[in-house]
Amino acid sequence: MKVRYFAWLRERVGRAEEEIALPPHIETVGDLVGWLKSRGPEFEGAFENAAVVRAALDHTHASLDTRLGQAQEVAFFPPMTGG
């Protein structure tokens, strides 16, 4: 699965995207966040405040309890500030 990061989340985790092999029992976006946070302090820091992290599955907004299902790409980013 491709994971992408944007804006200050990208800066904090130190990469724009990566391919990950999903470990077993990771079923929802929230499960994935929990697993990512276990990978090191840069992830722990980036995801420490869940209230300001947004997610998308295959280009569609998702919430922490959205199931990953067959999604090819998951993205994490701060609240949007376009327009």
Smallest separation (angstroms) from other proteins to the CB of 22: 20
Are 77 and 8 contacting, i.e. CB atoms less than 8 angstroms apart?
no
Within positions 5 to 44, which residues make up the interface with other proteins, using CB under 8 A?
6-8, 10
Smallest separation (angstroms) from other proteins to the CB of 54: 8
Question: Residue 50 and residue 21: Cα distance in Å, rounded?
Answer: 23
Kindly tell me which of 23 and 73 has the beta carbon lying closer to other proteins: 73
* Helical H segments across 1-83, by residue range: 7-13, 29-37, 41-46
Positions in the binding site for other proteins (CB under 8 A): 4, 6-8, 10, 56, 59-61, 75, 77-83
